[in-house]
Amino acid sequence: MNFTAQVALDALRCAVLAGAAFAIGWPLGGGRRSTLRTVCLIAPLLMPSLLISYAAAPVTLMFGGSMLAAFYSVLLMLKLAPLAALARDCFPSPLSAEAAFCARLLPAEGAAARAWFAVRAAGPVPWATLAVLFLLTFTDFELASLFAVKTWTVMLFDAHAGGLDPSLSLRRIALPVTIQLAVIVALLVPRWSATSGRVGAARGGGLHFIIAIAVLIAGLPLARVAWLAATGFAQLRVQEVFAADLVVSLGIAAAAAPGVWLLMRGRALVALPGLLGALVLALLVLAFIQVPVVRLLRDTPLPLIAVEMLLIAPIAFVLRELIRAHTPREALHLARMAGSRRLIWDLALAPRAGALALLFMLAYFELTAATILAPIGLTPVFARLHNLAHYGQSAVLSAMLIAATLVPAALLALTVGAARLYARRDD
Amino acid sequence: MRREAEAAAFIRDRTLLLLGLVAVLFVTLWRLPALRSSVVVYCAHDAVFAEEILRDFEMRSGVKVLVRYDTEATKSLGLVELLLAEKDAPRCDVFWNNEMLGTADLAERGVLAPHRGPGWERIPEQWKDADARWTGFAARLRVHIINTRNPATDLDDLSRGAIAKPLYGTTLTHYTALWHLWGPERLKTWHHESRARGLREVNGNGMVKDIVARGARDHGFTDTDDFFDAKDRGALVAMKPVRIDGASICIPNTVALIRGAPHEATARQLIDYLLSAEAEMALAKSKSRQIPLGPVDENQLPAEVRELREWSAKCVPLAGFVKDRVECLAWLKSEYTE
């Protein structure tokens, strides 16, 4: 199959996957909030591809071909499905109970009107969620590569074996970029407006499904790798290099996530370069920083931070738009006038914190650009773990993998928890 | 009021960005002395084996070594791209590659500089560039890894075999040897027929090893270091050298001085160390059991490495295959990416 056909096939496959992830995840949103539920929704999203493939090795080694491709697709879909539930949690339907009641009174023959009403009433959130799910599945490289599944991202990588002229790289990615761009532009067409947001009225839930997905995508892999790591945790204390790598990755993600959030303010065009994908963008920036005037930047983390920012910018853009459309401005204004930290947190800061956390994790787990652009002596942790993983599984490597996964999650939980606590102190 | 809020946000955003830039500047300035006094190595060899050798060099010489490794996911693409991109103003001093033809290709592209040190002198002609732009050391062999639980394993039954994607690494070298010795048409036919017969293609040699060790396939094409890794973990595996027209495929590590290296003197020192008998012996005694190419004390070699040395006595002369590699890779890219 040639590259163009593969891109078309992947676009179709990812549309189905995004739709399936949405169909599974969306009904699970809007339920009663609890710590267990939140942890179970977030955990699959935070599972790095390397850990999943590492834990799934007994399965992936036994099967090949279409079985493996199907397994990869199901894993990717289930990994991302909780995102839809979280989106529904964070951005409830703008439709009031009264309007929903009126909609049900529409005459039966007005099926088209009813359908149109349902689409309009849903607001931008389901569409934005679908778009994010599509972008994340369509641009996946790492999991596909680890599972040896043929996708356009893997083909693009292979095309660079032995070097590829940048102009040929750009020509090759024109179609996938166009597809991603079309998805983002389609999001902008409807005129989203700020709504008051109806909180807590949805009847979603399905905690047992949420737990099942979390167990499958996060629990089982973590348990298996933790079991493999049983004797390796003690040796982590002497892994100074690993600790340094961890700090490097955390630092880069900590710079990239808020950086792109600030940069995106009113600048939609910033989202465009990220559509080129990690490989092409990193190689272009690599070529750029060889120019004498900017060559000094090569020994700084700036090029890598900049590329990580650009790579997460399309997702940041969608999230920003979503939050902008869903921020109840009047209520927020009143909350500010009243000086209620809790209300300001609930209305404005909590969605931003969630978005920043997601962007942080995307930047933290990114591998390709990190491998190509990291300054000498500053190795991102997943670049090292991928190198070490070549020789299969060991207790120390398993312990490193667990630590590399849980440390940022714990830091994020602490940060968001502290912010929430601060916000609630005025109760 | 709204304007005031926007102005406040503007100032806050700029302040945060400025603070970020200051932090990056601080990190850079903090690292600069280390960058200036260190020798920089781009290393395609696995960190688990290379780290020990490089730390030993640090201990002996007192020179700090900064290493950039590659990953299985990005193969050696990242390092080769980096070296090519940085050709006019290199940051790297020494390139340690885990195979030979890629390094020879870089030499042809003008990335490497000659170095004729004592290390170069001790390595036989067949494993080094006549112009001293690269030198081979510590080799691995291409082997069939065989799961011994099935005594009826037939190496010709490709439906029970596995191989890594041939676009990279030692599998590309393997294909290049076939391209040269069989000719393009025979290789293409074999490639298509083997896939049609069910030869499973996976991501890398490590995965081939795992598949065979777990019994998902009876045999596979891999390298000796992967075989020994499986064996050391207790897997029921055996190996046989891959032979083409009676010659084995022996793939050395290679080391090269980068043209315009910022720390040339220490780079030469490191290259001589890597090509020394001590370094070759250390790699032979490591878990990867690599074959010394220069003269070493045979009595100190592990028995397994002595056997490998015998297998490698007659091997394919890879050094002259650079052009074949370019042609073979172009064909493979057309197969896999177009």
Q: What percent of chain A has pLDDT over 90?
A: 18
pLDDT confidence tier of residue A283, bands split at 50, 70 and 90: confident
pLDDT at B181: 93
pTM attached to this predicted model: 0.83
Residue whose pair of structure tokens reads 């710079």 in the numeric block = A255
Residue A413 pLDDT > 50, yes or no? yes
Residue % of chain B over a pLDDT of 70:
89
Q: Are B168 and A283 a contacting pair at CB < 8 A? A: no
- Is B7 an 8 Å CB contact of chain A? no
The answer to whether B327 faces chain A, any CB pair under 8 Å, is: no
Which chain B positions have a beta carbon within 8 Å of A367's beta carbon?
71, 73-74
**Which chain A residues in 335-394 lie under 8 Å from chain B, judged by CB atoms?**
367-368, 371-372, 374-379, 383-384, 386-392
A386: nearest CB among B71, B337, B338: B71
Is the Cβ pair A283, B203 closer than 8 Å?
no
How many CB pairs (< 8 A) connect A and B?
Answer: 160
CA distances from B112 to A154, A376, B58, B63 (A): 30, 19, 23, 22
Is residue B255 very low, low, confident or very high in pLDDT (cuts 50, 70, 90)? very high
Q: Find chain A residues with C-beta within 8 A of B13's C-beta.
A: 262, 265
Please state the rounded mean pLDDT for residues B73-91. 78
**Band of the pLDDT at B275, cuts 50, 70, 90?**
very high
Region A230-259: what's the mean pLDDT? Answer: 83
Cβ-defined contact of A156 to B74 (cutoff 8 Å): no
In a mutational test of the B interface, the residue from A332, A387, A397, A398 whose CB has the highest number of chain B CBs within 10 Å is: A387
Provide φ and ψ at B237, rounded to 5°: -135, 155
Selected residues 307-346 of chain A with any CB under 8 Å from a CB in chain B: none
Chain A stretch 157-186, residues whose beta carbon is closer than 8 A to a beta carbon of chain B: 157-163
Cα separation, B6 vs B259, in Å, equals 53
Q: Hey, are the CB atoms on B214 and A287 less than 8 Å from each other?
A: no
A197 closest CA partner among A338, A353, A325, A34: A325
Nearest to A210 by CA among A23, A89, A85, A92: A85
Whether pLDDT at A427 is above 60: no
Highest mean pLDDT among A40-54, B140-154, B267-281: B267-281
Q: What distance in Å separates residue B122's CA from the closest CA in chain A?
A: 30
Q: Which of A3, A374, A388 sits opposite B47 (nearest CB)?
A: A388
Instruction: Please check whether residue B333 touches A, CB under 8 A.
Output: yes
Looking at the predicted structure, is the pLDDT value of residue B239 above 70? yes
Chain B contact set for A265 (CB, 8 A) = 9, 13
Task: Give the pLDDT band of residue B320 (cuts 50, 70, 90).
Answer: confident
Please indicate whether residue B35 or residue A221 has the higher confidence score (pLDDT). Answer: A221
Residue A201 has pLDDT above 50, yes or no: no
Nearest Cβ partner for A160 among B17, B77, B201? B77
Single out the residue of B133, B86, B91 nearest to residue B112, CA to CA: B133
pLDDT number for residue A10:
94
User: Which amino acid, A323?
Assistant: I
Residue B187, pLDDT above cutoff 60:
yes
Q: Is the pLDDT of residue A286 over 80?
A: yes
In chain B, count of helices (H) and strands (E)?
13, 12
Q: Minimal Cα distance from A385: which residue of B?
A: B71
Instruction: Please answer yes or no on whether A158 and B165 come within 8 Å at the CB atom.
Output: yes
Which residues of chain B are within 8 Å of residue A58 when distances are taken between CB atoms?
214
pLDDT at position A15 is 95
The residue ranking higher by pLDDT, A73 or A205, is: A73
* Rounded mean pLDDT, A73-77: 94
How distant, in Å, are the alpha carbons of A9, A134, A269, A313 from that of A138? Answer: 10, 6, 20, 16
What was the pLDDT predicted at B1?
Answer: 53
| Confidence check on the interface: ipTM exceeds 0.95, yes or no | no
Contact A255 B20 (CB under 8 A): yes
List chain A residues with CB under 8 Å of B204: 390
Q: Does B201 touch chain A (CB under 8 A)?
A: yes
A27, A204 in Cβ contact below 8 A?
Answer: yes
Interface contact flag, A255 B23, Cβ < 8 Å: yes
Q: Which two tokens stand for residue B279?
A: 């370094």
Are the C-beta atoms of B212 and A62 separated by less than 8 Å?
A: no
Chain B: give the shortest CA distance to residue A265, in Å. 10
pLDDT digits (tens, 9 = 90+) for A322-375: 787 777 788 888 888 887 888 888 887 888 888 888 899 989 999 888 888 888
For the purposes of burial, counting CB atoms within 10 Å of the CB of A103, is it exposed (0-12), middle (13-18) or buried (19 or more)? middle
Residue A196 is predicted with a pLDDT of 45
